[in-house]
C-alpha cells in the first residue's frame, strides 16, 4: 500500500508544462492528497490502480489530468471509458476534464440515459477520445455498435461502490467484455468493502492500492455549523454573516485562486475591509496584507489553503469555508484557526446540496459535530445592527462629545419635538446602513427544486435523497408497513420518511440527507457483503 506524502506541488508529479498551465489557469494551487498519490503512478507505467477517494476530494482531476497527458489526440478513436453511476456524475466528470484540458484538442463527452441518443451518436461519430457514461447507456451504444471499446487504453470505474450499490454489476461485467485485455483499469471508490475487492481481483489482476493516509484529528472549542446554499447565494450569505457579527474577524477559505480574487474584490466593492492572499500574490504583498490583518485594519481575509498555511493568528471569531475543503484533514486544519487558547470561535461551512455527503464524510472522519443552521435573515441583521447602534450611542461618555454638539442639541430641542428630532437624526445617519434593500434574496433550499441541470433528477435534490427499497407488494408491503419497517431498523423518525411509493417488487422513500445516511449505513451493515435492501435510487 502506498502512503500519501504531503505538501507536494503539481510540478513534482510529472505533468507537462501545457497541463500545468491549464491547472493554474483553473486556479488550483496544489494537488489534493488523492491527486498527489494517483497522478505520478498513472504517469509512471500502466499499473492498474484501486484508489480510495470520496467525491469532492479532487479525484476527477486525479485520473483526468493523467488521461489528458496520455491520450493521443491525433488519433480519433475512443481511448478511455469512464463509467459513473449517475448521469449527474457523468456530466460533472466530463465537464471537469473538459475544463482542465487547456489548449489540447482532446474531446470528452458524457453519455447517459435521458439525453437524446441521436445527439450522442453524432458526437461519437465525429470522434471522441474520452467517453464518460452511465452503464445502461454505454451498453446501448455498444449494442448498436456506435461505441467501440476494443482499443481503449484506460477504463475508469468511478464511484465503483455506488455502482455496485445501485445494482450495476451485470452491466459493468458486460461492458468489460467489449474492452480489450491490455487496457489499464482504475477503480475509484469511497469505501472498500469486500465486494469491491473481489471485483478488483476478478477484473484487474494485479493492482496497486492508493489510500490517503488518515491523520488523527482533533477539533477544538469551535462551534461548527453549515449552511446549505446555492453557489450563486454564497456571497450574499457571507455578507450577512459578517454584518450580523459585532466584531467579525475571520478567514474565508476558497478552493481556487480565482475564487479568492472574486470574493475579495466583491467584498471590497461592498465596502468591507478585506484582503486576499494566494500563491500568485507576491510574498512581500502577502506579508503586507497579513500585517494589516493581524493589526485588524482588515477584518476579513480571503485565502486559499496553501496561502493560509503560514498564518499565525489565534483569536479569529470566524473561519468560513466558502468552499468545502478537500478532506477532513484540511477541514480540521482550517477550523483550528479559531477557538484557540480558550476562545470560542465559529466555523461555518457552505455546502451545496450535492456536497452534503462529503460534509458527512468529513464529520465522520474528523469525529466532530457540524450542525445545520440557517443563513441569518435580513430582519435579524437589521435588528442586530440597531442593537449595536443603541449600545454605541448609550456607551458614549459625555466627555467624548464636544460641547458644540450639546449646544446644538439644546437649540434644536428648544422649538422641536425631541422624538421627531432624534428620529430625523437616526434616519439621517443610518438610513443607508439599515436599508434592507442592500441585501439580496437567498433561495431557501429545502422544499424547492434546484433549477437547471438538476431539474427532474430523482435523487439528492432539495436536501433530500430518494432511496430504493428492495421490498414491494409481493413481500406484503404497503406504505404504512414499509415506514414501520424503516423506523424499526434505523430509529429514523416517522415524519422524516416521505413520498412512500410501493410497487410490486420494490418501493421508494424520500428522506432528508442525514436520515438517508443513517438508513443506508444501517442496512449496509446488516447486509454485510450481500446487496443491501436499501440503496440510493438511480436517477430517472
Ligand atoms: P471532485 O472530487 O473531482 O468532484 O472535485 C471536487 C472539486 O474540487 C471540483 O470543483 C474541482 O474543480 C476541485 N478541485 C480538484 N482538484 C483541486 C485542487 N488541486 N485545488 C483546488 N480545487 C480542486
CA distance 83 to 186: 10
Who has greater pLDDT, 315 or 269?
269
Where is mean pLDDT largest: 81-85, 160-164, 435-439, 497-501?
Answer: 81-85
Contact 521, 533 (CB under 8 A): no
Give the residue among 95, 505, 526, 440 at the shortest CA–CA distance from 237: 440
Taking CB atoms within 8 Å and a gap of at least 24, the contacts of 519-522 are 519/467, 519/486, 519/490, 519/492, 520/467, 522/489, 522/490
pLDDT interval class at 1 (50, 70, 90)? very low
CA distance 381 to 372: 19
pLDDT at 348: 96
Q: Which domain holds residue 526?
A: 449-536
- In the block, cell 435588528 appears at 383
Would you say residue 484 lies in a domain?
Answer: yes
Would you say residue 381 lies in a domain?
Answer: no
Mutate to test the pocket of ligand 1, among 7, 31, 90, 255 (most ligand atoms within 8 A of CB): 255
pLDDT at 183: 95
pLDDT interval class at 217 (50, 70, 90)? low
Would you say residue 88 lies in a domain?
Answer: yes
418 and 457 part of one domain: no
C-alpha of residue 18 to centroid of ligand 1, in Å? 19
Total structural domains within the chain: 4
Residue 75 has pLDDT above 70, yes or no: yes
261 and 321 part of one domain: yes
Residue 459 has pLDDT above 60, yes or no: no
pLDDT at 2: 40
DSSP letter for each residue of 228-271: E--GGGHHHHHHHHHHH-SS--EEEE-SSHHHHHHHHHHHHHTT
Contact 55, 358 (CB under 8 A): yes
pLDDT digits (tens, 9 = 90+) for 131-155: 999 999 999 999 999 999 999 999 9
Contact 331, 366 (CB under 8 A): yes
Mutate to test the pocket of ligand 1, among 58, 66, 258, 321 (most ligand atoms within 8 A of CB): 58
Q: Can you state the angle between helices 418-430 and 378-395, rounded to 10 degrees?
A: 120
Taking residues 88-102, what's their average pLDDT?
93
Who has greater pLDDT, 496 or 299?
299
Contacts of 155 (CB under 8 A, 6+ apart): 80, 81, 83, 176, 179, 183, 184, 185, 186
CA distance 120 to 137: 10
Taking residues 3-26, what's their average pLDDT?
84
Would you say residue 423 lies in a domain?
Answer: yes
pLDDT at 214: 60
Would you say residue 343 lies in a domain?
Answer: yes
DSSP three-state, residue 393: helix
Q: Is the CB of 64 under 6 A from ligand 1?
A: no
Q: Is the CB of 31 under 6 A from ligand 1?
A: yes
Its pTM stands at 0.61
| DSSP letter, residue 86 | S
pLDDT at 306: 84
Residue 255 has pLDDT above 80, yes or no: yes
pLDDT at 449: 38
Would you say residue 203 lies in a domain?
Answer: yes
161 and 22 part of one domain: yes
141 and 184 part of one domain: yes
122 and 258 part of one domain: no
177 and 229 part of one domain: no
124 and 243 part of one domain: no
Residue 432 has pLDDT above 90, yes or no: no
- In the block, cell 471590497 appears at 268
Contact 389, 243 (CB under 8 A): no
90 and 200 part of one domain: yes
pLDDT at 218: 55
Taking residues 83-97, what's their average pLDDT?
91
Taking residues 46-71, what's their average pLDDT?
91
DSSP letter for each residue of 178-203: TS-TT-EEEEEES---HHHHHHHHHH
345 and 407 part of one domain: no
pLDDT at 516: 83
CA distance 479 to 507: 9
C-alpha of residue 56 to centroid of ligand 1, in Å? 6
**Dihedral through CA 474, CA 478, CA 479, CA 484, nearest 10?**
-100
Mutate to test the pocket of ligand 1, among 9, 38, 61 (most ligand atoms within 8 A of CB): 61
Percentage of the chain lying above the pLDDT 90 cut: 52
402 and 301 part of one domain: no
Q: Given 211, 242, 273, which residue is the final one in a domain?
A: 211
- HSE value, Cβ hemisphere, 13 Å, CA-based, for 114: 19
Residue 26 has pLDDT above 50, yes or no: yes
pLDDT interval class at 219 (50, 70, 90)? low
Looking up residue 144, the CATH number of its domain turns out to be 3.40.50.300
pLDDT interval class at 339 (50, 70, 90)? low
202 and 226 part of one domain: no
Q: Given 211, 235, 259, which residue is the final one in a domain?
A: 211
Give the residue among 510, 507, 500, 495 at the shortest CA–CA distance from 533: 507
DSSP three-state, residue 22: helix
DSSP three-state, residue 57: coil
C-alpha of residue 26 to centroid of ligand 1, in Å? 10
C-alpha of residue 119 to centroid of ligand 1, in Å? 29
pLDDT at 80: 98
Residue 458 has pLDDT above 60, yes or no: no
- In the block, cell 446602513 appears at 433
65: how many CB neighbours lie within 10 A of its CB? 29
pLDDT at 463: 61
CA distance 405 to 391: 19
pLDDT at 454: 33
Mean pLDDT of the chain: 87
Would you say residue 489 lies in a domain?
Answer: yes
The values of phi and psi at residue 40, to 5°, are -60, -35
CA distance 387 to 391: 6
- Range of lowest pLDDT (72-76, 343-347, 533-537): 343-347
Q: Is the CB of 255 under 6 A from ligand 1?
A: yes
Residues in the chain: 540
Residue 413 has pLDDT above 90, yes or no: yes
Taking residues 232-251, what's their average pLDDT?
93
Who has greater pLDDT, 341 or 306?
306
| DSSP letter, residue 344 | -
Looking up residue 458, the CATH number of its domain turns out to be 3.30.70
Residue 304, judged by CB atoms within 10 A of its CB (0-12, 13-18, 19+), counts as buried
C-alpha cell belonging to residue 137? 447507456
Contact 532, 523 (CB under 8 A): yes
Q: Given 376, 399, 427, which residue is the final one in a domain?
A: 376
Would you say residue 26 lies in a domain?
Answer: yes
Who has greater pLDDT, 330 or 254?
254
| DSSP letter, residue 16 | -
282 and 344 part of one domain: yes
Q: Is the CB of 304 under 6 A from ligand 1?
A: no
pLDDT digits (tens, 9 = 90+) for 162-194: 888 888 899 999 999 999 999 999 999 988 888
pLDDT at 215: 53
pLDDT at 67: 98
Residue 513 has pLDDT above 80, yes or no: no
Residue 311 has pLDDT above 80, yes or no: no
Q: Is the CB of 94 under 6 A from ligand 1?
A: no
DSSP three-state, residue 432: coil
pLDDT at 444: 73
Amino acid at each position: 500500500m502506498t502512503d500519501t506524502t504531503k505538501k507536494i506541488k503539481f510540478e513534482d508529479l510529472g505533468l507537462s508544462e501545457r497541463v500545468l498551465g491549464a491547472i493554474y489557469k483553473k486556479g488550483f494551487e496544489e494537488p489534493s492528497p488523492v491527486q498527489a498519490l494517483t497522478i505520478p503512478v498513472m504517469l509512471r507505467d500502466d499499473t492498474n490502480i484501486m484508489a480510495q477517494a470520496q467525491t469532492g476530494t479532487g479525484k476527477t482531476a486525479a485520473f483526468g489530468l493523467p488521461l489528458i497527458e496520455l491520450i493521443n489526440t491525433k488519433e480519433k478513436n475512443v481511448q478511455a471509458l469512464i463509467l459513473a453511476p449517475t448521469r449527474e456524475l457523468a456530466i460533472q466528470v466530463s465537464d471537469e476534464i473538459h475544463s482542465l484540458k487547456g489548449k489540447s484538442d482532446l474531446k470528452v463527452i458524457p453519455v447517459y440515459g435521458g439525453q437524446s441518443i441521436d445527439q450522442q451518436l453524432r458526437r461519437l461519430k465525429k470522434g471522441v477520445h474520452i467517453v464518460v457514461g452511465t452503464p445502461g447507456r454505454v451498453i446501448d451504444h455498444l449494442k448498436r455498435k456506435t461505441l467501440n471499446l476494443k482499443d481503449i487504453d484506460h477504463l475508469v470505474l468511478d464511484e465503483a461502490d455506488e455502482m455496485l450499490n445501485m445494482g450495476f454489476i451485470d452491466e459493468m461485467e458486460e461492458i468489460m467484455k467489449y474492452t480489450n485485455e491490455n487496457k489499464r483499469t482504475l477503480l475509484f471508490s469511497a469505501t472498500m468493502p469486500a465486494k469491491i475487492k473481489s471485483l478488483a481481483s476478478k477484473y484487474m489482476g494485479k493492482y496497486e492500492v492508493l489510500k490517503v493516509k488518515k491523520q488523527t484529528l482533533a477539533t477544538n472549542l469551535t462551534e461548527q455549523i453549515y449552511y446549505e446554499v446555492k453557489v450563486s447565494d454564497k456571497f450574499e450569505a457571507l455578507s450577512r454573516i459578517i454584518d450580523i457579527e459585532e466584531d467579525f474577524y475571520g478567514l474565508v477559505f476558497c478552493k481556487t485562486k480565482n475564487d479568492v480574487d472574486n470574493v475579495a474584490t466583491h467584498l471590497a466593492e461592498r465596502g468591507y475591509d478585506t484582503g486576499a492572499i494566494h500563491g500568485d500574490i507576491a510574498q512581500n504583498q502577502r506579508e503586507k496584507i497579513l500585517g494589516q490583518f493581524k493589526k485588524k485594519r482588515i477584518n476579513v481575509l480571503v485565502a486559499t489553503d496553501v496561502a493560509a498555511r503560514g498564518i499565525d493568528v489565534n483569536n479569529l471569531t470566524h473561519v468560513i469555508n466558502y468552499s468545502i475543503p478537500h478532506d477532513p484533514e484540511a477541514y480540521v486544519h482550517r477550523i483550528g484557526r479559531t477557538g484557540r487558547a480558550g476562545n470560542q470561535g465559529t466555523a461555518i461551512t457552505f455546502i451545496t446540496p450535492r456536497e452534503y455527503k462529503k460534509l458527512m464524510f468529513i464529520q465522520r472522519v474528523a469525529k466532530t459535530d457540524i450542525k445545520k443552521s440557517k443563513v441569518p435573515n435580513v430582519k435579524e441583521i437589521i435588528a442586530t445592527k440597531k442593537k449595536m447602534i443603541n449600545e454605541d450611542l448609550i456607551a458614549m461618555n459625555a466627555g467624548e462629545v464636544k460641547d458644540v454638539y450639546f449646544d446644538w442639541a439644546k437649540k434644536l430641542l428648544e422649538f422641536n419635538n425631541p422624538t421627531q428630532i432624534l428620529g430625523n437624526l437616526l434616519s439621517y445617519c443610518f438610513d443607508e446602513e439599515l436599508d434592507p434593500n442592500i441585501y439580496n434574496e437567498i433561495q431557501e433550499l429545502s422544499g424547492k427544486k434546484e433549477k437547471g441541470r438538476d431539474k427532474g433528477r430523482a435523487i439528492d435534490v432539495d436536501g433530500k435523497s430518494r432511496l430504493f427499497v428492495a421490498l414491494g407488494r409481493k413481500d406484503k408491503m404497503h406504505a404504512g408497513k414499509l415506514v414501520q419497517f424503516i423506523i424499526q431498523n434505523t430509529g429514523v423518525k416517522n415524519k422524516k420518511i416521505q413520498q412512500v411509493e410501493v410497487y410490486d417488487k420494490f418501493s421508494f422513500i424520500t428522506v432528508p440527507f442525514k436520515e438517508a445516511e443513517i438508513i443506508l449505513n444501517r442496512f449496509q451493515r446488516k447486509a454485510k457483503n450481500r446487496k443491501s435492501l436499501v440503496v440510493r435510487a438511480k436517477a430517472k
